[in-house]
Amino acid sequence: MSARRVLVTGGAGFVGSHLVDALLQRGDRVRIFDNLDPQVHPERRKPQWVPADAEFVLGDMRDADGVRDSLRDIDVVYHLAAAVGVGQSMYQIADYTAVNTLGTAHLLQSLVDDRGDVQKVVVASSMSIYGEGRYARPDGGEPRATLRTLDRLRAHEWEPRDVDGAVLAPVPTDESKPLDPTSIYALTKADQEKMVLQIGAAYDIPAVALRFFNIYGPRQSLSNPYTGVAAIFSSRLLNGQPPLVFEDGGQKRDFVSVYDIVQALLLSAEEEAAAGKAFNVGSGRAVTVNEVASILASVLGTELEAQIVDKYRVGDIRHCFSDISLAREVLGYEPRVTFEQGMQELVAWLQEQDRPKDGVEAHAAELAARGLTL
Protein backbone atom coordinates (compact mmCIF):
# COMPACT_ATOMS: atom_id res chain seq x y z
CA MET A 1 0.00 0.00 0.00
CA SER A 2 1.43 3.40 -0.99
CA ALA A 3 1.97 6.01 1.68
CA ARG A 4 -1.01 8.24 2.36
CA ARG A 5 -1.06 11.81 3.64
CA VAL A 6 -3.20 11.69 6.77
CA LEU A 7 -4.66 14.41 9.00
CA VAL A 8 -5.47 13.47 12.59
CA THR A 9 -7.39 16.19 14.45
CA GLY A 10 -6.79 15.78 18.17
CA GLY A 11 -3.69 13.80 17.26
CA ALA A 12 -1.74 14.73 20.41
CA GLY A 13 -4.42 13.29 22.65
CA PHE A 14 -5.09 9.84 24.07
CA VAL A 15 -6.61 8.02 21.10
CA GLY A 16 -5.11 10.29 18.46
CA SER A 17 -1.52 9.72 19.55
CA HIS A 18 -1.89 5.94 19.41
CA LEU A 19 -3.42 6.26 15.94
CA VAL A 20 -0.55 8.50 14.82
CA ASP A 21 1.96 5.85 15.96
CA ALA A 22 0.15 3.17 13.97
CA LEU A 23 -0.08 5.33 10.84
CA LEU A 24 3.62 6.19 10.93
CA GLN A 25 4.47 2.53 11.43
CA ARG A 26 2.55 1.78 8.23
CA GLY A 27 4.62 4.36 6.38
CA ASP A 28 1.97 7.08 6.12
CA ARG A 29 2.79 10.79 6.32
CA VAL A 30 0.92 12.29 9.24
CA ARG A 31 -0.16 15.80 10.17
CA ILE A 32 -1.45 16.40 13.70
CA PHE A 33 -3.88 19.28 14.34
CA ASP A 34 -4.35 19.87 18.07
CA ASN A 35 -4.97 22.82 20.37
CA LEU A 36 -3.22 21.24 23.40
CA ASP A 37 -6.23 21.98 25.61
CA PRO A 38 -4.84 22.61 29.14
CA GLN A 39 -7.48 20.34 30.65
CA VAL A 40 -5.81 17.45 28.79
CA HIS A 41 -2.30 18.92 28.49
CA PRO A 42 -1.84 20.96 31.70
CA GLU A 43 1.57 22.33 30.66
CA ARG A 44 0.19 23.38 27.26
CA ARG A 45 3.02 21.77 25.36
CA LYS A 46 3.40 18.74 23.13
CA PRO A 47 3.50 15.56 25.19
CA GLN A 48 6.61 13.45 24.88
CA TRP A 49 4.80 10.80 22.87
CA VAL A 50 4.21 13.08 19.88
CA PRO A 51 6.73 11.70 17.35
CA ALA A 52 9.23 13.98 15.66
CA ASP A 53 8.45 12.51 12.24
CA ALA A 54 4.81 13.65 12.39
CA GLU A 55 4.04 17.24 11.35
CA PHE A 56 2.52 19.07 14.32
CA VAL A 57 0.18 22.03 13.82
CA LEU A 58 -1.02 23.93 16.88
CA GLY A 59 -4.56 24.82 15.96
CA ASP A 60 -8.15 24.94 17.17
CA MET A 61 -11.26 23.49 15.52
CA ARG A 62 -13.02 26.80 16.23
CA ASP A 63 -10.60 28.55 13.85
CA ALA A 64 -12.07 28.07 10.36
CA ASP A 65 -8.93 29.31 8.58
CA GLY A 66 -6.68 27.03 10.61
CA VAL A 67 -8.89 24.02 9.91
CA ARG A 68 -8.91 24.78 6.19
CA ASP A 69 -5.13 25.09 6.08
CA SER A 70 -4.69 21.78 7.91
CA LEU A 71 -6.45 19.96 5.05
CA ARG A 72 -3.89 20.98 2.46
CA ASP A 73 -2.52 17.98 0.52
CA ILE A 74 -4.38 15.45 2.69
CA ASP A 75 -5.77 12.09 1.48
CA VAL A 76 -7.47 10.78 4.62
CA VAL A 77 -8.97 12.68 7.56
CA TYR A 78 -9.44 11.19 11.01
CA HIS A 79 -11.54 13.68 12.97
CA LEU A 80 -10.98 12.89 16.64
CA ALA A 81 -10.78 16.40 18.14
CA ALA A 82 -13.56 17.04 20.65
CA ALA A 83 -14.36 18.42 24.08
CA VAL A 84 -15.07 15.35 26.24
CA GLY A 85 -17.09 14.86 29.41
CA VAL A 86 -20.77 14.34 30.20
CA GLY A 87 -21.06 16.27 33.45
CA GLN A 88 -18.97 19.26 32.39
CA SER A 89 -20.91 19.60 29.15
CA MET A 90 -24.06 20.35 31.14
CA TYR A 91 -22.62 23.66 32.35
CA GLN A 92 -20.13 24.51 29.58
CA ILE A 93 -22.73 24.35 26.86
CA ALA A 94 -21.34 27.00 24.52
CA ASP A 95 -17.79 25.61 24.71
CA TYR A 96 -18.82 22.04 23.90
CA THR A 97 -21.05 23.15 21.06
CA ALA A 98 -18.36 25.41 19.62
CA VAL A 99 -15.58 22.82 19.71
CA ASN A 100 -17.59 19.76 18.68
CA THR A 101 -20.45 20.95 16.48
CA LEU A 102 -19.06 24.19 15.06
CA GLY A 103 -15.57 22.71 14.77
CA THR A 104 -16.93 19.84 12.68
CA ALA A 105 -18.87 22.35 10.60
CA HIS A 106 -15.61 24.19 9.85
CA LEU A 107 -14.02 20.93 8.72
CA LEU A 108 -16.93 20.02 6.46
CA GLN A 109 -17.28 23.54 5.06
CA SER A 110 -13.62 23.41 4.05
CA LEU A 111 -14.16 20.10 2.27
CA VAL A 112 -17.28 21.35 0.51
CA ASP A 113 -15.50 24.51 -0.65
CA ASP A 114 -12.39 22.65 -1.77
CA ARG A 115 -12.22 18.89 -1.31
CA GLY A 116 -8.67 18.79 -2.60
CA ASP A 117 -7.24 15.26 -2.46
CA VAL A 118 -9.36 13.97 0.43
CA GLN A 119 -10.61 10.45 -0.27
CA LYS A 120 -11.99 9.43 3.13
CA VAL A 121 -13.23 10.99 6.36
CA VAL A 122 -13.53 9.00 9.58
CA VAL A 123 -15.19 10.68 12.56
CA ALA A 124 -15.03 9.60 16.20
CA SER A 125 -18.59 9.24 17.45
CA SER A 126 -19.62 7.90 20.85
CA MET A 127 -21.83 5.34 22.56
CA SER A 128 -23.24 8.28 24.54
CA ILE A 129 -25.47 9.18 21.58
CA TYR A 130 -27.68 6.16 22.34
CA GLY A 131 -28.63 7.43 25.77
CA GLU A 132 -29.78 4.27 27.49
CA GLY A 133 -28.71 1.07 25.79
CA ARG A 134 -31.09 -1.67 24.68
CA TYR A 135 -33.30 -3.45 27.19
CA ALA A 136 -35.68 -6.39 27.27
CA ARG A 137 -38.81 -6.92 29.33
CA PRO A 138 -38.96 -9.83 31.81
CA ASP A 139 -41.10 -11.70 29.26
CA GLY A 140 -38.44 -11.10 26.57
CA GLY A 141 -40.50 -8.50 24.74
CA GLU A 142 -39.44 -5.07 23.50
CA PRO A 143 -40.09 -2.31 26.07
CA ARG A 144 -42.16 0.71 25.11
CA ALA A 145 -39.95 3.01 27.22
CA THR A 146 -36.86 2.95 29.43
CA LEU A 147 -37.98 5.27 32.17
CA ARG A 148 -35.82 6.59 35.02
CA THR A 149 -38.12 9.16 36.56
CA LEU A 150 -36.83 11.79 38.97
CA ASP A 151 -39.00 10.40 41.76
CA ARG A 152 -37.49 6.93 41.38
CA LEU A 153 -33.96 8.28 41.06
CA ARG A 154 -34.41 10.31 44.26
CA ALA A 155 -35.59 7.10 45.91
CA HIS A 156 -32.41 5.38 44.65
CA GLU A 157 -34.32 3.09 42.31
CA TRP A 158 -31.69 2.96 39.62
CA GLU A 159 -32.91 0.38 37.12
CA PRO A 160 -35.02 1.52 34.14
CA ARG A 161 -38.65 0.45 33.99
CA ASP A 162 -41.22 0.12 31.25
CA VAL A 163 -44.41 2.19 31.26
CA ASP A 164 -46.18 -0.53 33.28
CA GLY A 165 -43.45 -0.48 35.94
CA ALA A 166 -41.72 -3.68 34.83
CA VAL A 167 -37.99 -3.63 35.63
CA LEU A 168 -35.98 -4.03 32.42
CA ALA A 169 -32.90 -6.15 31.74
CA PRO A 170 -29.99 -4.68 29.71
CA VAL A 171 -29.01 -6.43 26.48
CA PRO A 172 -26.28 -5.61 23.89
CA THR A 173 -26.90 -2.39 21.98
CA ASP A 174 -26.73 -2.51 18.17
CA GLU A 175 -26.53 0.37 15.70
CA SER A 176 -30.24 0.30 14.88
CA LYS A 177 -31.15 1.41 18.40
CA PRO A 178 -32.76 4.90 18.17
CA LEU A 179 -30.50 7.70 19.37
CA ASP A 180 -31.45 9.56 22.54
CA PRO A 181 -28.58 11.84 23.70
CA THR A 182 -28.99 12.71 27.38
CA SER A 183 -26.22 15.32 27.73
CA ILE A 184 -24.84 18.23 25.73
CA TYR A 185 -21.70 16.17 25.10
CA ALA A 186 -23.75 13.31 23.69
CA LEU A 187 -25.82 15.70 21.60
CA THR A 188 -22.70 17.25 20.05
CA LYS A 189 -21.26 13.80 19.29
CA ALA A 190 -24.50 12.94 17.50
CA ASP A 191 -24.09 16.23 15.60
CA GLN A 192 -20.57 15.30 14.56
CA GLU A 193 -21.62 11.87 13.32
CA LYS A 194 -24.70 13.01 11.42
CA MET A 195 -23.00 16.02 9.87
CA VAL A 196 -20.06 13.99 8.57
CA LEU A 197 -22.24 11.20 7.17
CA GLN A 198 -24.75 13.63 5.60
CA ILE A 199 -22.14 15.80 3.90
CA GLY A 200 -20.23 12.71 2.84
CA ALA A 201 -23.33 11.34 1.13
CA ALA A 202 -24.28 14.66 -0.44
CA TYR A 203 -20.82 15.35 -1.91
CA ASP A 204 -19.73 11.76 -2.59
CA ILE A 205 -16.97 11.86 0.02
CA PRO A 206 -16.65 8.38 1.58
CA ALA A 207 -17.31 8.90 5.30
CA VAL A 208 -17.44 6.57 8.29
CA ALA A 209 -18.53 7.11 11.90
CA LEU A 210 -17.18 4.95 14.72
CA ARG A 211 -19.22 4.88 17.91
CA PHE A 212 -16.57 4.36 20.58
CA PHE A 213 -17.54 2.76 23.86
CA ASN A 214 -15.53 3.34 27.07
CA ILE A 215 -11.88 3.57 26.03
CA TYR A 216 -8.97 2.94 28.37
CA GLY A 217 -5.21 2.51 28.06
CA PRO A 218 -1.81 4.22 28.38
CA ARG A 219 -1.64 8.00 27.80
CA GLN A 220 -5.14 8.64 29.10
CA SER A 221 -5.20 11.97 30.92
CA LEU A 222 -5.00 11.24 34.65
CA SER A 223 -5.43 14.80 35.91
CA ASN A 224 -8.60 15.44 33.90
CA PRO A 225 -11.66 14.62 36.06
CA TYR A 226 -13.83 14.45 32.93
CA THR A 227 -11.90 11.67 31.20
CA GLY A 228 -12.67 7.93 31.18
CA VAL A 229 -13.71 6.16 34.37
CA ALA A 230 -10.66 3.84 34.42
CA ALA A 231 -8.30 6.82 34.41
CA ILE A 232 -10.40 8.71 36.98
CA PHE A 233 -10.44 5.74 39.36
CA SER A 234 -6.71 5.19 38.83
CA SER A 235 -5.97 8.81 39.68
CA ARG A 236 -7.91 8.51 42.93
CA LEU A 237 -6.22 5.27 43.95
CA LEU A 238 -2.74 6.61 43.15
CA ASN A 239 -3.49 9.54 45.47
CA GLY A 240 -4.58 7.21 48.27
CA GLN A 241 -8.25 8.09 47.81
CA PRO A 242 -11.20 5.78 47.12
CA PRO A 243 -12.86 5.99 43.70
CA LEU A 244 -16.15 7.88 43.81
CA VAL A 245 -18.96 5.83 42.27
CA PHE A 246 -22.30 7.39 41.37
CA GLU A 247 -25.55 5.48 41.92
CA ASP A 248 -24.68 2.00 43.30
CA GLY A 249 -21.87 1.06 40.92
CA GLY A 250 -23.97 -1.58 39.18
CA GLN A 251 -23.99 0.36 35.90
CA LYS A 252 -22.87 -1.86 33.03
CA ARG A 253 -20.46 -0.48 30.46
CA ASP A 254 -18.28 -1.78 27.65
CA PHE A 255 -14.57 -1.09 28.21
CA VAL A 256 -12.42 -1.28 25.08
CA SER A 257 -8.65 -1.00 24.78
CA VAL A 258 -7.23 1.95 22.88
CA TYR A 259 -5.33 -0.56 20.74
CA ASP A 260 -8.61 -2.09 19.55
CA ILE A 261 -9.92 1.41 18.85
CA VAL A 262 -6.89 2.03 16.63
CA GLN A 263 -7.50 -1.27 14.87
CA ALA A 264 -11.05 -0.14 14.01
CA LEU A 265 -9.84 3.29 12.85
CA LEU A 266 -7.36 1.75 10.44
CA LEU A 267 -9.87 -0.77 9.10
CA SER A 268 -12.56 1.87 8.57
CA ALA A 269 -10.32 3.91 6.27
CA GLU A 270 -9.37 0.86 4.21
CA GLU A 271 -12.73 -0.86 3.75
CA GLU A 272 -14.76 0.59 0.87
CA ALA A 273 -17.97 -1.04 2.11
CA ALA A 274 -17.75 1.00 5.33
CA ALA A 275 -18.58 4.29 3.56
CA GLY A 276 -21.78 5.93 4.74
CA LYS A 277 -22.13 3.70 7.82
CA ALA A 278 -21.80 4.00 11.59
CA PHE A 279 -20.24 1.20 13.61
CA ASN A 280 -20.07 0.30 17.28
CA VAL A 281 -16.49 -0.17 18.47
CA GLY A 282 -16.27 -1.93 21.80
CA SER A 283 -15.25 -5.20 23.38
CA GLY A 284 -18.71 -6.74 23.21
CA ARG A 285 -18.50 -7.49 26.95
CA ALA A 286 -20.37 -5.85 29.84
CA VAL A 287 -18.45 -4.87 32.99
CA THR A 288 -19.89 -3.03 36.00
CA VAL A 289 -18.37 0.17 37.32
CA ASN A 290 -17.81 -1.58 40.67
CA GLU A 291 -15.82 -4.30 38.90
CA VAL A 292 -13.57 -1.68 37.32
CA ALA A 293 -12.83 -0.10 40.72
CA SER A 294 -12.19 -3.50 42.31
CA ILE A 295 -9.87 -4.75 39.54
CA LEU A 296 -7.85 -1.52 39.52
CA ALA A 297 -7.44 -1.58 43.30
CA SER A 298 -6.30 -5.20 43.15
CA VAL A 299 -3.78 -4.60 40.38
CA LEU A 300 -2.45 -1.48 42.13
CA GLY A 301 -2.05 -3.47 45.34
CA THR A 302 -4.34 -1.33 47.49
CA GLU A 303 -7.21 -2.33 49.76
CA LEU A 304 -9.06 0.93 49.14
CA GLU A 305 -12.69 0.23 48.28
CA ALA A 306 -14.90 2.39 46.10
CA GLN A 307 -17.00 5.02 47.86
CA ILE A 308 -20.59 4.68 46.71
CA VAL A 309 -21.95 8.21 46.25
CA ASP A 310 -25.52 6.89 45.96
CA LYS A 311 -26.49 9.87 43.82
CA TYR A 312 -27.60 10.32 40.23
CA ARG A 313 -25.60 12.61 37.96
CA VAL A 314 -27.79 14.45 35.43
CA GLY A 315 -27.00 13.22 31.91
CA ASP A 316 -25.86 9.75 33.01
CA ILE A 317 -27.46 6.54 31.79
CA ARG A 318 -27.75 3.20 33.56
CA HIS A 319 -26.53 0.53 31.15
CA CYS A 320 -25.02 0.48 27.66
CA PHE A 321 -22.70 -2.15 26.18
CA SER A 322 -22.04 -2.99 22.56
CA ASP A 323 -23.18 -5.41 19.94
CA ILE A 324 -20.19 -5.37 17.56
CA SER A 325 -21.62 -7.73 14.93
CA LEU A 326 -21.70 -5.07 12.21
CA ALA A 327 -18.06 -4.04 12.72
CA ARG A 328 -17.06 -7.71 12.62
CA GLU A 329 -18.99 -8.32 9.42
CA VAL A 330 -18.08 -5.20 7.44
CA LEU A 331 -14.73 -4.08 8.85
CA GLY A 332 -13.29 -7.42 9.91
CA TYR A 333 -12.88 -5.93 13.39
CA GLU A 334 -12.16 -8.31 16.26
CA PRO A 335 -11.17 -7.16 19.78
CA ARG A 336 -7.72 -8.46 20.68
CA VAL A 337 -7.15 -7.10 24.20
CA THR A 338 -9.13 -8.56 27.09
CA PHE A 339 -10.23 -6.30 29.92
CA GLU A 340 -7.89 -8.06 32.36
CA GLN A 341 -4.91 -7.74 29.99
CA GLY A 342 -5.71 -4.10 29.33
CA MET A 343 -5.97 -3.24 33.03
CA GLN A 344 -2.57 -4.86 33.69
CA GLU A 345 -0.98 -2.75 30.95
CA LEU A 346 -2.73 0.42 32.09
CA VAL A 347 -1.48 -0.06 35.64
CA ALA A 348 2.07 -0.79 34.46
CA TRP A 349 2.00 2.54 32.62
CA LEU A 350 0.42 4.32 35.58
CA GLN A 351 3.21 3.24 37.87
CA GLU A 352 5.74 4.98 35.62
CA GLN A 353 3.91 8.33 35.79
CA ASP A 354 4.18 11.19 38.24
CA ARG A 355 1.38 11.22 40.78
CA PRO A 356 -1.55 12.92 39.01
CA LYS A 357 -3.51 15.86 40.33
CA ASP A 358 -6.82 14.64 41.74
CA GLY A 359 -9.67 16.93 40.64
CA VAL A 360 -12.52 14.48 41.18
CA GLU A 361 -13.91 15.91 44.40
CA ALA A 362 -13.83 19.44 43.02
CA HIS A 363 -15.71 18.21 39.95
CA ALA A 364 -18.32 16.49 42.13
CA ALA A 365 -18.73 19.67 44.18
CA GLU A 366 -19.19 21.71 41.00
CA LEU A 367 -21.95 19.39 39.80
CA ALA A 368 -23.68 19.49 43.20
CA ALA A 369 -23.49 23.30 43.35
CA ARG A 370 -25.21 23.50 39.99
CA GLY A 371 -27.97 21.08 41.00
CA LEU A 372 -26.72 18.40 38.59
CA THR A 373 -26.69 15.56 41.14
CA LEU A 374 -29.72 14.13 42.90
- Secondary structure element (H or E) that encloses residue 19, with its range: helix 14-26
**Measuring CA to CA, how many Å separate 298 from each of 121, 246, 250, 267, 294?**
41, 20, 18, 35, 6
Single out the catalytic residue among 78, 96, 185, 226: 185
> Is position 203 annotated as part of the catalytic site?
no
Give how far the C-alpha of residue 49 lies from the chain's centroid of Cα atoms, to the nearest Å. Answer: 20
- Secondary structure element (H or E) that encloses residue 108, with its range: helix 103-113
**3-class secondary structure, 77:** strand
Closest CA to 215 of 234, 233, 232, 228: 228
Question: What CA dihedral angle connects 104, 108, 111 and 117, to 10 degrees?
Answer: 60
Tell me the residue type at 247.
E
Tell me the residue type at 85.
G
Using N-to-C axis directions, what is the helix angle for 184-202 and 103-113, rounded to 10°?
A: 10
C-alpha span between 353 and 239 (Å, rounded): 12
169 exposed, middle or buried (CB, 10 Å; 0-12, 13-18, 19+)?
Answer: middle
Tell me the residue type at 62.
R
Q: Which residues are 279's β-sheet partners?
A: 210
**3-class secondary structure, 285:** coil
Q: Provide the 8-state DSSP code for 217.
A: -
Q: Hey, which residues are catalytic here?
A: 185
